[in-house]
Structure 1
Amino acid sequence: MAIKFKAQAKRNPQDITLPEKYYASAIADGEVDLDVLSEQIAYECTVTESDCYAVLLSLERNIIRSLDQGRIVKLGRLGNFQVSVSSEGRDTPEEVNAGLITKARVLFRPGRRLRSLLTDLTYKKAS
């Protein structure tokens, strides 16, 4: 299987007067939700689909709760989740406050097996 991509025009954010350049952009080829994951997991082990679904929902709730408390969530070989923030800059540490935060996001740092997936990918240009 190959990751599909398309050419996408983008401007240079440092100089928007420059002409656009085209960059490869990955195209999603469907999606997998908790229902599908629960079914797949149940097929591969002795746990029922409804039990798998319940565990995945509980995992989601507990990840959110832990991130909300400022914790790093370590999921073993899968990887780690952590909250990160961006803010406006100031000249001294004393000037930095919560009002300067412009964006928050959840970072995911994949484990070794997920990272190795990226080195073994093949690509196919979408038609």
Structure 2
Amino acid sequence: MAYKYCVRKKTDKSQGEEQVKYYAVPLSSGTIGTNELAENIAGRCTLRPGDVHATIVELMYTIEQELHQGNKVCLEGIGIFSLSASSEGFDKPEDCTPSKVKAKRICFLADKKLKKNLKFVKFEKDRRG
């Protein structure tokens, strides 16, 4: 099955004059939830869907715990999860105290093998656009 995309018009103003260009934009065909993911995985191995579901839920809690402890989490073949943090700017380093630092987001860096397989993704233009 191919990944659908549509074409959207975007205006590029970076060169001083406006240039209209058309770009491919990927369209998601939906979202798969934990239950369906567990069913799919269970169909490929000897585990039952409930066991897979419990493992996925515990994996989420474990990743969260490890990130809170300052660790990156590497799932071989999938990628690395890490935390991004930031603060406002200060005039003196001693003013940048722990209470001023905030976690911004969870970052994900895909594994090289996972990224390498992107070249096998087939695309199909969506009929609506």
TM range (shorter): 0.7 to 0.9
The one-letter code of the counterpart of 1:24 is A
Within-5 A mapping of 1:14-29: 18=18, 21-29=21-29
CA distance in 2, matches of 1:53, 1:39: 8
- Give the match's secondary structure for 2:63: helix
Within-5 A mapping of 1:34-113: 34-85=34-85, 94=93, 97=96, 99=100, 104-113=104-113
CA RMSD of aligned residues (A): 3.3
Alpha-carbon offset, residue 20 of structure 1: 5.5
CA distance in 2, matches of 1:3, 1:96: 49
Unaligned 5+ runs, structure 1: none
CA distance in 1, matches of 2:13, 2:89: 19
Alignment deviations for residues 16-63 of structure 1 (CA, whole Å, 9 cap, x no partner)? x84664322110012211101111111222211111110000001111
Match of 1:30 in 2: 30
How many residues align structurally? 125
Which structure has the larger Rg over C-alpha atoms?
2
Alpha-carbon offset, residue 64 of structure 1: 1.5
CA distance in 2, matches of 1:10, 1:85: 32
Alpha-carbon offset, residue 3 of structure 1: 1.6
CA distance in 2, matches of 1:121, 1:37: 20
Unaligned 5+ runs, structure 2: none
Q: Is the CA contact (8 Å cut-off) linking 2:85 and 2:101 kept in structure 1?
A: no
Distance 1:62 1:123, change over 3 A: same
CA distance in 2, matches of 1:11, 1:95: 44
What is the TM-score of this pair, normalised by structure 2? Answer: 0.75
Percent identity of equivalent pairs: 30
